[in-house]
Structure 1
């Protein structure tokens, strides 16, 4: 799905850097959450259910992905 076709307000973390290396998120009608690459705002968006986002955020908060940095 093209991110630009969703007609939503995209937000990004205040921790994003000036080079534009960001992931932006948007709440969709029905509760799903879309993610896009801020460097390609016309490109694809990935859409996840609230349960999928909750599981990812819980893992991130617990440090499960720290080894990737």
Structure 2
């Protein structure tokens, strides 16, 4: 299992948390959102998904991953 923390701009509310967590969950990973820190910590299995796919899923929800 891999853990990575991504800086994500544009998150500000509970809807944002649900959107990001839901998108990441669909990839078989688990996201923990830190609204105050503008960050998302993701735990994922490299055999099931990639970091690039996770970033794309978050960006598809309308957020900027740095």
Specify the TM-score bucket, using the shorter chain as the normaliser. Answer: under 0.3
TM-score norm. by structure 1 comes to 0.25
- Higher RCO by CA contacts (8 Å cutoff, separation 6 or greater): 2
TM-score between the two structures when normalised by the length of structure 2: 0.25
Q: Which has a greater percent of helix?
A: 2
Higher strand share: 2
